Amino acid sequence: MSDDAAVRLPLEGIRVVDLTRVLAGPFCTMLLGDMGADVIKVEDPDHGDDTRAWAPFVGGQSTYYLGVNRNKKSVAIDLKSADGGAFLDALIRSADVLVENFRPGTLDRLGFGPERARTLNPRLIYCSISGYGTSGPRRDLPGYDMVIQGESGLMDITGFPETGPTKVGIAISDCLSALYAVQGILLALIDRGRTGDGQVVDIALLDAAVSVLGLPAGIAAATGRGPGRLGNAHPSLAPYEPFPAADGSVIVAVANPRLWSRFCRAVGAEGFEHDPRFATNDDRLKNRAALTSAIGDLFHDQRVDVLIGKLTAAGVPCGRVRSIEDVLSDPQLTAREMLIDVRAGDASVKVPGNPVKLSSVPRIRGTAPPALGEHTEEIRRQVLGKSREES
């Protein structure tokens, strides 16, 4: 975190009206705020963002909410009221970007869909994040990450054969959608700099999840069937997975013949290198069960630190399966400012930082997530020139 006012952030001067809640939208707008955008989070005055009520809490605030809402201002307005509508109209006129993740059609019914918003402000970049996008036969359906993980095929390749489909441990389609939304917004800002016109950015959770299926989709195209659920194994490489050791698990990533040779020598298994069952990657894939068993026998009574030391010294990519608690105390991540403290009342909580590192930005800014409606009157005076009492 930096208080250095001399540092100019790349999105300073860009105002973002944030009509989002929960994860995909708030994550997107937080990343824009990290880089200097003036993000105004518009919330329902009765309860605000849904995640404000989601446990657990630190300092009376939801850790979920705290994790994706730094660097924003909050205004609480009722979009169904005349006063709230006039307030949002003024915000839209003053904005460069509007981001929303309502169910398709909701904002159109309230009078704030993309057509009217861009009539109010032709330079506006209007970003919609939804489950299935604004076109196609399922465009009107609600989008929830768990559903999208199943519909996209992600769950078909996640989990073990004997356990059935498993979701990814985070809301991955929401997170991917947020990243694509940032990309789309930045592309639209570049285009606006050339043309002077805004445009609509249409992001679908389903599209985002399917976009990362290159390897399994390629396997299906080539063989007529997808790779299925392989647990922690890789469909095209072996060994490329975690193996249990005496006090934890060691991940080994052998991606070419040179690394296979180094691996065998590092762990004292030179015989593996000359075993015809394991000679090539194709051989190892065909005999994966025997290879996994052999490496398991070799590792089971050795400590993780010892194995990591041997493999690292030999130049073999490896790591341990760490707990979230371990990750939150990792000096590498601290050095990269990927673990930052956010204030919550009299307490603080560690949240993930921003992975984009720019040489012109020594540190991202880090204002605490706002209380519900904390900036309503400040922003009202900016865009309407008067407080509610003066209206």
Residues tagged active-site: 174
Torsion of Cα atoms, 228 then 231 then 232 then 236, to 10°: -20
**DSSP string for 168-210:** -SS-HHHHHHHHHHHHHHHHHHHHHHHHS---EEEEEHHHHHH
Tokens matching residue 123: 């330079």
Backbone angles phi, psi at 132, to 5 degrees: -125, 5
Cα 163 from chain centre: 26
Backbone angles phi, psi at 245, to 5 degrees: -120, -170
Strand order from edge to edge, sheet including 72-76: 72-76, 38-43, 15-19, 97-100, 125-130, 200-204
End-to-end CA distance of the chain: 38
Tally of CB atoms within 10 A around 68: 26
